[in-house]
Structure 1
Amino acid sequence: MRVKLIIDADACPRGALEICRRLGRAFDVPVWTVASFNHRIESDRHIVVGDAPEETDIAVANATREGDVVVTQDWGLAALVLGRKARAVSPDGRVYRPETVAFLLEERAIKFRFRRGGGRTKGPRRRTAVDDRRLEAALTGILQAGKPGK
């Protein structure tokens, strides 16, 4: 069973996508991208989905197998792939862990209720070079750990 790197490309910054591609080549791991037809993604292995809510997440989850690595900003999708015994990391290098993902989902639900009630929350912060270095370090560690003999 060959491990693959799957990118939730709908909201993945270009710099993070390039890091994933470079590390995929370095570790000889196939890199798959998944995005709705509204996004133009240059990729040798790309899954195009419709633009219905959660369609990309469903396609990523369905493509994920045990041992795969998924890059996503979506905490719900991270929880799904962790349940499939895959690894998940955010584009800014946060490694999602089974013991902390429930807290993230609870935080997401609280913020959703707050916004639905008329409240406003901050959007994502601007991507930095530190995010790139953290993603590279996290993916390198995960991919090295997955190599045979390690």
Structure 2
Amino acid sequence: MTIVYVDADACPVKDEIYKVAARHGVDVVVVANRFMVTPREAFVRFQLAPEGPDAADDWIAERCGAGDVVVTADIPLASRCLPKGAAALGPTGRPFTESSIGGALATRELMSHLREIGVAGGGPRPFGPQDRSRFLQALDIAVRRAMAKGEGAA
């Protein structure tokens, strides 16, 4: 059965995830390093990850698999989930794929280096309504594909 894993600490699209999951009848596991309120729905479960860097990422990466969807802005986490057969999707609707993850990791490293030496600053542009809409559409597609993949594996 398809599970949507949410790297939830800074995820701006949790409500959208719950809507899509309810529509498709899939479970959602919200993973974070601190407690957060989640809907009291049978298909939503909260998982408190241990303290420490990357603990929530480790928890998700160890459990996801073929037929699952991981929602994260964390490119290294996405790169750990893809080889396991899980789909990975950023909160702006950007899918991470086997063919795009290498470039995304390289860009991440380059930008980190540029910030360290003071050439680049700031972060991503503000999250807007178009991002939310794009995410809803992309998640719906990813869940349908993951469900089909999961059925084929059974």
Provide the TM-score with structure 1 as the length reference.
Answer: 0.88
8 Å contact 2:87–2:146 — kept in the other structure?
no
Figure out how many residues of one structure are paired with residues of the other and give that number: 146
Gaps (5+ residues) in structure 2? Answer: none
CA distance in 2, matches of 1:122, 1:100: 24
- 1:119 positional shift: 4.0
Aligned AA for 1:10?
Answer: D
- 1:60 positional shift: 1.1
1:23 maps to which of 10, 20, 25: 20
Identify which of structures 1 and 2 has the higher relative contact order when contacts are C-alpha pairs closer than 8 Å and 6+ apart. 2
**Which stretch of structure 1 is more off in the superposition, 111-120 or 49-58?**
111-120
Secondary structure in structure 2 of the residue aligned to 1:23:
helix
Percent identical pairs in the alignment equals 27
Aligned equivalent of 1:42: 38
Aligned equivalent of 1:106: 106
Secondary structure in structure 2 of the residue aligned to 1:42:
coil
CA distance in 2, matches of 1:32, 1:89: 15
Please, what is the CA RMSD of the aligned residues? Answer: 1.8
Given the alignment of the two structures, is residue 121 of structure 1 paired with residue 121 of structure 2, yes or no? yes
CA distance in 2, matches of 1:28, 1:99: 29
8 Å contact 2:2–2:147 — kept in the other structure?
no
- 1:127 positional shift: 1.3
Aligned equivalent of 1:90: 90
Secondary structure in structure 1 of the residue aligned to 2:18:
helix
Secondary structure in structure 2 of the residue aligned to 1:26:
helix
CA distance in 2, matches of 1:40, 1:56: 14
Give deviations 1:54-101, integer Å, cap 9, x for gaps: 111111111211120000001111111111111000111001111011
Gaps (5+ residues) in structure 1? Answer: none
